[in-house]
């Protein structure tokens, strides 16, 4: 196992160039605390090139938007989402309960939201739709491990580039992943309101 360390870049454009053949995100399965680290662990057997880790949600957002814009064909974007679906961290079967279901979705989506001891938000999600798993994987890559204010300031419009679909299914998919993001923000707000004293002690 090789470790690659990256210093903070001055801008997102200093990262490796985006290739349609090399997915820029690498999310190990079953490791929800991956994003707390600033080092990337890449197996020698992986077919992907080493990639830098991202230390801010704004930089990750710019990167993923640029990536999907570089995929001109809708089918290529769908394929990329299906790839990210395979990288979605595992979801505990015990958390697959009605209180964790995201309402208003055309497919089933479960979302687990918590705040760790450092005041950072932790997200896990799952769906019975592979494409929706891909959307969830992107959202989790963007927001897991961020402080609440970073989660709350992300707007749906910032991710318009992910509004893809085939044969008229786009609207239902957009509504579903929008509902997932809205649920992430609402549950974050609730946790903040219920944990304000401890948050003040942390900062």
Q: Which tokens sit at 88?
A: 């979605």
Catalytic residues: 105
According to DSSP, the β-strands at 2-5 and 121-127 are: unpaired
User: Which residue is listed with tokens 């595992």?
Assistant: 90
Contacts of 152 (CB under 8 A, 6+ apart): 185, 188, 189
Q: Could you tell me the sign of the dihedral formed by the alpha carbons of 36, 40, 62, 105, in that order?
A: negative
The answer to whether residues 112 and 102 touch, using CB atoms and an 8 Å cutoff, is no
Count the alpha carbons within 13 Å of 130 in the hemisphere toward its beta carbon.
Answer: 7
């Amino acid at each position: 196992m090789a470790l690659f360390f990256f210093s903070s870049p001055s801008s997102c454009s200093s990262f490796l160039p985006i290739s349609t053949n090399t997915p820029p995100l690498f999310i190990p399965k079953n490791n929800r605390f991956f994003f707390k680290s600033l080092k990337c662990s890449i197996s020698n057997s992986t077919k992907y090139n080493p990639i830098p880790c991202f230390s801010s949600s704004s930089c990750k957002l710019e990167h993923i938007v640029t990536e999907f814009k570089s995929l001109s064909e809708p089918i290529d974007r769908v394929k990329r989402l299906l790839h990210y679906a395979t990288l979605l961290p595992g979801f505990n079967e015990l958390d697959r309960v009605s209180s964790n279901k995201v309402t208003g979705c055309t497919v089933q989506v479960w979302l687990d939201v918590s705040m760790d001891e450092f005041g950072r938000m932790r997200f896990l999600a799952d769906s019975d739709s592979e494409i929706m798993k891909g959307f969830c994987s992107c959202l989790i890559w963007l927001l897991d491990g961020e402080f609440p204010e970073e989660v709350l300031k992300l707007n749906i419009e910032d991710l318009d580039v992910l509004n893809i679909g085939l044969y008229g299914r786009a609207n239902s998919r957009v509504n579903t992943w929008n509902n997932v993001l809205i649920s992430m923000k609402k549950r974050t707000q609730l946790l903040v309101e219920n944990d304000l004293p401890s948050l003040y002690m942390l900062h």
